[in-house]
Amino acid sequence: MTGTGENVHGSGDSGGLVLVLNSGSSSVKFAVLAPASGERVLAGMAEKVGTPEAELRIRRYPDHIATEPLPEGSYQAVISRILGHLSEAGLGTEDGASGPGQARLVGAGHRVVHGGERFTASVLVDDQVIAAIRSSSHLAPLHNPANLAGIEAVRAVRPALPQVAVFDTAFHQTMPPRAFRYAVPEDWYTRYGVRRYGFHGTSYRFVSQQAAALLGRPLTELRLVTAHLGNGCSVAAVRDGVSVDTTMGLTPLEGLVMGTRSGDVDPGVFGYLAERAGLTIEGLDETLNTASGLTGISGVGNDMRAVEAAAAEGNRRAQLAVEVFVHRLAKAIAGMVVGLERLDALVFTAGIGENSAFVRGQVMSRLGFLGLIEDAEANARHGRDTRGRISLDGPVVAMVVPTDEELMIARDTARLTASGARLL
């Protein structure tokens, strides 16, 4: 029995355990955690899923780490093995018969990338939900089918386990039409669903709640700009707890400069390069998604740490990449204030947002006109000793709030499976 397992048994966390899955086309990221405390029991990743070279890397908390081949390679094999590890730890029985209630697996929560206009919140999975996710697949052809494969694998291995789908897009369904509509012909929207959906919604929901708690103010009275800066980057305007604007659009390509994605470009570039360079739509789409952003400008790569280091050593392309990244980010943050009409706090999160004091400092220095003044010492310490705060006293607070999308998915799953159980 691991120490963490003992903690879960004894933590008084009556929410049970939740298996959280992020199923991609060839990888599955997973965690098993207690939704009330956020305590992890297992976490890891399966790679090369769907091939005989599939491999599972798993950590059983606190310190048992294993890498196992999965010759069968299927999503089902991945799920079976995760559940096998759980029962080896004496946890995760379906009915709780062999242990206290806290150790019971109460559900599986899945990250689903695109919920279209159908899903405005997380839902319990049933046949209709599966059909609706499938019918949104044209909006995320690489992601939704993989997310569904994860759902179907859990069904096959543990048919009685309740499942919940948590959508990246759902949080932004509160955006008003003036924020989500493109100025294109009406039938592009009505026939093909061409509109802005926005992503990173699970992260925004989590950090907004955390920010309100750290500020000691009700979320329903706060006007926030939240900046999720990871490999994908976006910002959102969160007004009284709901999203009113965001930078990503129909796809996660729109908006900010990202690791390998361009963010906004003139759509005229398609016709221009088709004509001048003979590029195809597929080729252009691929380049804008995988060879642009920090990678494209700097030539160094998509990792902000490497780009910052190269810039500090005098690499001009890397310097320019950071400058463009920061300029576009600051501009987008200021633009989000239009939908808020007042700004109370700017929240930085995800890999770059949580760790790059340099990027945050640069952004704040460009937003002085909003009333933001960096507290350099607090920023250097990532707000760890100041309840997230990295700005000096003023009308707007800047803060760092670590995101935890897995925990948000686990909480949604526990809440919905408990209410589902009540309905039965």
**Smallest Cα–Cα separation from 38: which of 324, 415, 328, 406?**
406
Q: What is the largest CA-CA distance in the chain?
A: 68
> How far is residue 315 CA from its own chain's centroid?
31
Instruction: Decide: 414 and 106 in contact? Cβ < 8 Å.
Output: yes
Query: Which of these ranges, 28-36, 136-144, 225-233, 370-378, lies near ligand ADP under the rule CB under 6 A?
Result: 225-233
Distances (CA, A) of 103 to 2, 107, 191, 225, 420: 13, 12, 48, 38, 19
Query: Which of these ranges, 45-53, 210-218, 299-307, 370-378, lies near ligand ADP under the rule CB under 6 A?
Result: 299-307
- The smaller minimum CB distance to ligand ADP, of residues 290 and 355, is found at 355
Q: Is residue 350 near ligand ADP by the rule CB under 6 A?
A: yes
Residue 234 CB, shortest distance to ligand ADP, in Å, is 10
- The smaller minimum CB distance to ligand ADP, of residues 174 and 251, is found at 251
Which of 210, 226, 262, 356 touches ligand ADP (CB under 6 A)?
Answer: 356
Residue 255 CB, shortest distance to ligand ADP, in Å, is 14
Distances (CA, A) of 68 to 44, 58, 91, 149: 11, 8, 20, 21
Residue 352 CB, shortest distance to ligand ADP, in Å, is 4
Residue 307 CB, shortest distance to ligand ADP, in Å, is 8
Q: Which of 63, 95, 168, 264 is catalytic?
A: 168
Distances (CA, A) of 191 to 117, 145, 187, 388, 393: 13, 22, 5, 44, 50
Q: Is residue 336 near ligand ADP by the rule CB under 6 A?
A: no
Query: Which of these ranges, 6-14, 22-30, 215-223, 346-354, lies near ligand ADP under the rule CB under 6 A?
Result: 346-354
Instruction: Decide: 172 and 121 in contact? Cβ < 8 Å.
Output: no
Length of the chain: 424
Q: Is residue 231 near ligand ADP by the rule CB under 6 A?
A: yes
Q: Is residue 305 near ligand ADP by the rule CB under 6 A?
A: yes
Which of 351, 361, 402, 420 touches ligand ADP (CB under 6 A)?
Answer: 351
Active site (annotated) includes residue 285:
no
Rg (CA), the chain: 22
**Smallest Cα–Cα separation from 35: which of 406, 350, 401?**
406
> How far is residue 40 CA from its own chain's centroid?
18
Query: Which of these ranges, 54-62, 127-135, 183-191, 229-237, lies near ligand ADP under the rule CB under 6 A?
Result: 229-237
Q: Determine the residue with CB nearest ligand ADP.
A: 351
Which residues are CB-contacts of 351 (< 8 A; sequence separation ≥ 6)?
Answer: 229, 230, 231, 304
Q: Is residue 232 near ligand ADP by the rule CB under 6 A?
A: yes
Residue 278 CB, shortest distance to ligand ADP, in Å, is 32
The one-character DSSP state at 250 is: S
Question: Which residues of the chain form contacts with ligand ADP (CB under 6 A)?
Answer: 230-232, 259, 303-305, 308, 350-352, 355-356
Catalytic positions, please? 168
